[in-house]
Amino acid sequence: MWRSCWRLRQRPNRGTIGDMNVLLLEDDIDLGQAVADHLEAAGHVVHWCKLISQARKIEAPELALLDLNLPDGDGLSLLRDWRAEGRTLPVLVLTARDAVSDRIRGLQAGADDYVVKPFDLNEILARMHAVCRRGAPANRLHIGDVTVDLAGRAAARGDERIEFTAMEWAVLSCLARQPGRIYSRADIDTQLTKDGMGESDSNSLEVIVSRLRKKLGPLAISTHRGLGYRLDA
């Protein structure tokens, strides 16, 4: 059934990310074995689980590949729990569901990317590299002509310092954790609560984003209807 998914047995393409502890949640034996072998050949440590209950016992994975239809539930339930706990590891959803509504559901749950079966094994490695580059922490961001110093909690356009309220900075810091990733309102509220700011209501978050656009530039933060906000740095 999955021959087209695992026919590539040549040397995997190596990229710039280091060896990682990867959680693979996949109950199809042939596909799971093929993906695990391919990632291990690329230098990664793979924890292959066939049940959600097994995956929950894996400590501190650095990246996860999650199937959706598992014998003991939906892989998105594990993803939602991770995001509710504030865990920010990159997550790629692997599934045969290719409807737009299913992709939106995965993104809303906190997925960083969505790969539809059947897929090329080297595509998985490429997608892993992409989400890791996107999620790599950076102390300094350039948003148009604005430089944001996350460590110093400061921003400037040229020599002109830009001032932020505490709530504005909290929202910007949340979006800046992974520029290019769409953060849902729930993601932002979770981070604001962790930062001691409390949750934002619908109107206030829209106002804050509007003020940030005025200070950073109109294209700095994009709105994705039904999904959330993304910092385009």
pLDDT-wise least confident of 55-69, 85-99, 193-207: 193-207
Q: In the prediction, which pLDDT does 198 show? A: 64
Average pLDDT over residues 14-21: 61
Please say if the pLDDT value at position 117 is more than 90. no
3 half-sphere exposure, CB direction, 13 A CA radius: 1
**pLDDT of res. 99:** 66
Question: Do 195 and 166 contact (CB within 8 A), yes or no?
Answer: no
Closest CA to 95 of 57, 125, 69: 69
Q: Report pLDDT for 7.
A: 35
Q: Averaged over 90-105, what is the pLDDT?
A: 79
| Cα–Cα distance, 233 to 93 (Å, whole number) | 24
- pLDDT digits over 21-64, tens only? 999 999 999 999 999 999 999 999 999 999 999 999 998 888 99
Q: For 137, phi and psi rounded to 5 degrees?
A: -65, 140
Residue 104 and residue 227 in contact, taking contact as beta carbons nearer than 8 Å: yes
* pLDDT, tens digit, 9 for 90 and up, residues 1-14: 343 334 333 344 44
Rounded average pLDDT over 119-141: 77
User: What is the CATH architecture assignment of 3-135?
Assistant: 3-Layer(aba) Sandwich (3.40)
**pLDDT classification of 135: cutoffs 50, 70, 90:** low
- Where are the domains positioned within the chain? 3-135, 140-231
Q: What is the pLDDT of residue 50?
A: 97
Predicted confidence band of residue 75 (pLDDT cuts 50, 70, 90): very high
Distance CA 47, CA 62 (A): 11
Q: Parallel, antiparallel, or unpaired: how do β-strands 113-116 and 91-95 relate? A: parallel
> Which phi and psi (to 5°) does residue 230 adopt?
-135, 135
pLDDT at 13: 45
Q: Are 25 and 68 in contact (CB under 8 A)?
A: no
Measure the CA–CA gap between 189 and 199, rounded to whole angstroms.
5
Percent of the chain with pLDDT over 90: 36
Pull the structure tokens for residue 29: 């034996």
| Tens-place pLDDT, residues 167-191 | 899 899 888 877 888 898 888 888 7
The CATH architecture to which 140-231 belongs is: Orthogonal Bundle (1.10)
Beta-bridge partners for 64: 23, 91
Return the H-helix or E-strand segment holding 102.
helix 100-109
Which pLDDT tens digit goes with each residue over 202-228?
A: 568 899 999 999 999 998 999 998 889
pLDDT-based confidence at residue 17 (cuts at 50, 70, 90)? low
pLDDT at 12: 47
Is the Cα torsion angle 80, 83, 87, 92 positive or negative in sign? positive
State pTM to two decimals: 0.56
pLDDT over 70, % of the chain: 85
Residue 67, beta-bridge partner list: 94
- Is 50 exceeded by the pLDDT of residue 97? yes
Q: What is the pLDDT of residue 138?
A: 54
Q: Give the amino acid at 13.
A: N
Beta bridge partners of 160: 157
